Copies of this chain bind each other. A is one copy, B any other.
Amino acid sequence: MSAENIDNNISYEILEDLEDDFEEVELELLRQQAKLTKDLYAKRAKVVSEIPNFWPLVFEQAPPDIDEYVQPTDSAVLLSSLVNLSVERFELPNGDPRSISIKFEFSENEYFENTVLEKKFWWRRNKDGWAGLVSEPVKINWKADKDLTSGMLDLVYQVWEDDKAGKGDDTEAKKKLKSQMESTGLDGVSFFAWFGFRGLSISEEENQAALKEEQEKRQARKEGKEVEEEVEEEDEDDDDDEYEMEIFPTADDLAVCIAEDLWPGAIKYFLAAQEQDALSDINFESDEEMDDEDDAQPSKKRKA
């Protein structure tokens, strides 16, 4: 279908072109940001590694968009054993700067055997023009009776393995997961269910083909050619590849929030936690009361 007209013959395509150009700038700025902050993050990692409880205290002060997902037991796990967090735009320098990996490192704890839990999110595009973050489930080796997701994460992982093996829609794991999700719902689900997120199923081939098609369309529009939009005959089947058994459906948003708020703002949150906990029983007070006016209003300061 060719360009549709709004009023006065302004076509949607002009707006889309503009959005494409803005998107290019944003990607360039993300690349610049990664380049300009690389050494600083390395330095920060070194400094904070010598501060006990740095990352648990950061999580304690996490903004609502993150905090709402951290249940009391999750907090206890983080507080007792989270020793490091790191975020990387792992497809740089040549790939998409929006792909992010988030790595949690833990000391020995009573909940699981893993010392590293790393979740990767790939920025992918599909044939229908959707673009966003997709992921793969990460297995957690829970200790006996300590599974904070009540078995759901294990089932998600099994379903994933079954899907890769082409076992169809009728496997034991799928039936169990579906029935568990229906009976218990997802309210109050553990933060650790986040590791189970898959998102849309987009193969690397589909992504590459979609990217190429999109770039060709953009190029053609730039050259003023009329671009033939494919008529989507299979419109009704659009969510064929939508994965319905997501135990943490907003995991992609949460990942972005960790990468773009908690991670860059970690020192600010840590200092806020210091102030708040100054008189609490967490073994973290300094001898003197903080007098740093600079950090007295973390929500007001240094927002750009």
A281 to chain B, nearest CB (A): 16
For window 254-304 of chain A, which residues contact chain B by CB distance below 8 Å?
256, 260, 264, 267-268, 270-271, 274, 284, 286-288, 290-294, 296-297, 300-304
Whether A98 pairs with B304 at a CB distance below 8 angstroms is: yes
Q: At the interface, yes or no: A226 with Cβ under 8 Å from chain B?
A: no
Query: How many angstroms between the C-alpha atoms of A14 and B130 in the bound complex?
Result: 44
Q: Which residues of B contact A27 (CB under 8 A)?
A: 304
Number of copies of this chain in the oligomer? 2
CB distance from A133 to the nearest CB of B (A): 8
**A215 to B9, alpha carbons, bound, how many Å?**
53
Q: Which of B10, B33, B130, B291 contacts A50 (CB 8 A)?
A: B10
The reply on A7 being an interface residue by CB < 8 A is yes
Shortest CB-to-CB span from A283 to chain B, Å, is 9
Cα–Cα distance between A253 and B40 once the two chains are bound (Å): 27
Chain A: residues with Cβ within 8 Å of the partner, total of: 69
Chain B residues contacting A229 (CB-CB under 8 Å) are 291
Cβ of A274: which chain B residues have Cβ within 8 Å of it? Answer: 6
A256 to B303 alpha-carbon distance, docked (Å): 8
A243 at the interface (CB under 8 A from B): no
- Is the Cβ of A292 less than 8 Å from the Cβ of B12? yes
Are A36 and B44 neighbours in the complex by a CB distance under 8 Å?
no
CB distance from A92 to the nearest CB of B (A): 13
Q: Is the CB of A51 within 8 A of B10?
A: yes
- Pairwise interchain contact B40-A18, C-beta atoms closer than 8 A: yes
> How far is A6 from B36 in the complex, measured between Cα atoms in Å?
28
Q: A4 to B297, Cβ gap below 8 A?
A: no
Task: A40 to B15: give the CA distance in the assembly, Å.
Answer: 11
Within 8 A of B (CB), among A15-59: 15-16, 18-19, 21-23, 25-30, 32-33, 36-37, 40, 43-44, 47, 50-52
Show 17 residue pairs from A and B whose CB-CB distance is below 8 angstroms, ordered by the A residue. A4-B290, A6-B274, A7-B51, A10-B50, A12-B290, A16-B292, A16-B294, A18-B43, A21-B40, A22-B264, A26-B304, A28-B36, A29-B32, A130-B294, A130-B297, A131-B302, A252-B300
Q: Which of A's residues lie within 8 Å of B, judged by CB?
A: 1, 4-8, 10, 12, 14-16, 18-19, 21-23, 25-30, 32-33, 36-37, 40, 43-44, 47, 50-52, 97-98, 128-132, 229, 232, 238, 252-253, 256, 260, 264, 267-268, 270-271, 274, 284, 286-288, 290-294, 296-297, 300-304
- Using A23-B302, A129-B292 as known contacts, list a sample of 19 further A-B pairs with CB atoms less than 8 Å apart, ordered by residue number in A: A6-B274, A8-B51, A12-B290, A12-B292, A15-B271, A18-B47, A19-B302, A22-B264, A22-B267, A28-B36, A29-B29, A29-B36, A130-B294, A130-B296, A130-B297, A131-B294, A131-B302, A132-B300, A260-B304
